[in-house]
């Protein structure tokens, strides 16, 4: 059972005039894109005068399906519909976890002349940015836009890409692990070695746990076939596990969670969807609200005519963080919640 503290980001719901061009259809690489003044100018011309949201064509590239990415996508679409956009003009394409598919989808959206691309997850955003410097791109569920090569800075992106970051409250998550498992001496960090966002979070988490006097072991998986053996190795060597907002592990969380539960090892997760899928607990962001925040940016760009290169990258506020706990998992591994985390 999940307990949530905190909620909502306000979605901007403004309507505008004029018309959007473009068309959509359907179909299924990441490279390090750069940003430039030329790209910023092109994006500015695309968003020049306000557009009629009912006629705008939007393409959505989603890296893969799992609870967090689905929630971010749904928050984005629901908020746009509330703001007057037509759901039928939003073309959602899923790359099924295959990075080359992201590039194929991005190219399709460029050919379709969509008015805006939403990219869900870092590889999807990188593929979109590689495909066009003219169409405005918003990304969500991206941990670090700068290190991913998507923007010049969070404050002034400078090109045709902006969006909302899912950077975790890693310090708070480290505190949560220490509070739930005070006897822990060794923590294992599990993540995908092919995901830049996970590598970044793992480094930050390692520093956070070591600052709290814990020994840290890192365990990586390159694909789904390595998740069970890597997790099995980890639970034999640590007192607790930490898994960041990693797409590979989030998509296959039940596998890792079952191994940990059988070994009675608690798993602190990067986000609440992973807790729902068998993890122990988290203190993290609300992905649905993160998607709504990206929708507010889309309204600014398409309806208000803002240059995407001037729209700062958005972050979840402290008020929007949520605590989630899997009580069934706690019971299975014999973990008793502190009184202040109950109820």
Tell me: the pLDDT tens digits for 273-330?
A: 999 999 999 999 999 999 999 999 999 999 999 999 999 999 988 778 899 999 999 9
- Other Cβ atoms less than 10 A from the Cβ of 80: the count is 29
| Helix locations, 113-160, DSSP H | 122-131
Q: What is the mean pLDDT of residues 78-85?
A: 98
Specify the pLDDT at position 170: 96
Cα 12 to the chain's mean position, in Å? 20
Specify the pLDDT at position 319: 79
> 141 Cβ partners below 8 Å, 6+ apart?
68, 69, 72, 120, 121, 122, 164, 166, 245, 287, 290
Q: CATH 3.40.50.2300 spans which residues of the chain?
A: 37-166+286-312, 170-284+322-341
Q: Give the chain's radius of gyration (CA, Å).
A: 20
pLDDT surpasses 80 at 49 = no
- Closest to 165 measured CA to CA, from 114, 203, 200: 200
Specify the pLDDT at position 343: 64
Cβ burial 81-114 (10 Å sphere, 16+ → b, else e): eebbbeeebbbbbbbebebebbbbbbbbbbebeb
C-alpha 301/C-alpha 297 separation (Å) is 6
Q: Measured between alpha carbons, how far is residue 325 from residues 67, 239, 254, 304, 338 in Å?
A: 16, 18, 15, 40, 12
Q: What are phi and psi of 327, to 5 degrees?
A: -65, -30
Specify the pLDDT at position 144: 96
> Quick check: pTM over 0.85?
no
Q: Give domain 37-166+286-312's CATH architecture.
A: 3-Layer(aba) Sandwich (3.40)
DSSP state of 89: G
C-alpha 306/C-alpha 301 separation (Å) is 4
Superfamily of domain covering 170-284+322-341: Response regulator (3.40.50.2300)
Edge-first strand listing for the sheet containing 58-62 = 90-94, 58-62, 116-120, 137-142, 161-165, 314-315
* pLDDT tens by residue, 140-187: 999 999 999 999 999 999 999 999 999 999 999 999 999 999 999 999
Q: Given pLDDT bands bounded at 50, 70 and 90, which one contains residue 4?
A: very low
pLDDT surpasses 50 at 6 = no
* pLDDT tens by residue, 123-148: 999 999 999 999 999 999 999 999 99
Tokens of 111: 């050919």
* pLDDT tens by residue, 213-227: 999 999 999 999 999
C-alpha 42/C-alpha 132 separation (Å) is 10
- Other Cβ atoms less than 10 A from the Cβ of 188: the count is 26
Specify the pLDDT at position 2: 42
First-to-last alpha carbon distance for the chain, in angstroms, is: 11
């Amino acid at each position: 059972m999940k307990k949530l503290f905190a909620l909502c980001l306000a979605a901007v719901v403004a309507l505008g005039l004029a018309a959007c061009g473009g068309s959509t259809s359907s179909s299924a690489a990441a490279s390090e894109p750069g940003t430039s003044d030329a790209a910023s100018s092109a994006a500015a011309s695309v968003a020049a005068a306000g557009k009629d949201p009912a006629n705008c064509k939007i393409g959505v590239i989603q890296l893969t399906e799992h609870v967090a990415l689905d929630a971010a996508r749904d928050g984005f679409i629901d908020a746009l519909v509330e703001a007057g956009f037509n759901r039928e003009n939003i073309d959602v394409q899923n790359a099924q976890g295959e990075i080359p598919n992201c590039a194929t989808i991005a190219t399709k959206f460029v050919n379709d002349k969509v008015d805006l691309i939403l990219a869900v997850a870092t590889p999807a955003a990188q593929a979109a940015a590689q495909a066009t410097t003219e169409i405005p791109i918003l990304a969500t569920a991206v941990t670090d836009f700068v290190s991913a090569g998507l923007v010049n800075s969070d404050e002034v992106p400078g090109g045709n890409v902006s969006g909302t970051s899912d950077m975790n409250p890693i310090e708070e998550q480290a505190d949560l692990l220490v509070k739930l498992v005070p006897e822990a001496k060794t923590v294992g960090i599990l993540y995908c070695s092919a995901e830049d966002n996970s590598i970044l979070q793992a480094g930050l988490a390692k520093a956070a746990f070591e600052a709290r006097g814990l020994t840290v072991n890192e365990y990586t998986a390159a694909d789904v076939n390595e998740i069970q053996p890597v997790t099995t190795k980890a639970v034999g060597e640590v007192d607790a596990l930490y898994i960041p907002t990693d797409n590979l592990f989030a998509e296959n969380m039940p596998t890792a969670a079952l191994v940990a539960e059988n070994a009675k090892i608690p798993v602190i997760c990067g986000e609440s969807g992973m807790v729902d899928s068998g993890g122990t607990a988290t203190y993290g962001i609300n992905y649905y609200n993160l998607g709504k925040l990206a929708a507010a940016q889309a309204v600014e760009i398409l309806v208000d005519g803002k240059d995407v290169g001037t729209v700062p990258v958005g972050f979840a506020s402290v008020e929007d963080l949520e605590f989630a706990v899997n009580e069934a998992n706690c019971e299975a591994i014999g973990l008793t919640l502190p009184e202040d985390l109950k109820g």
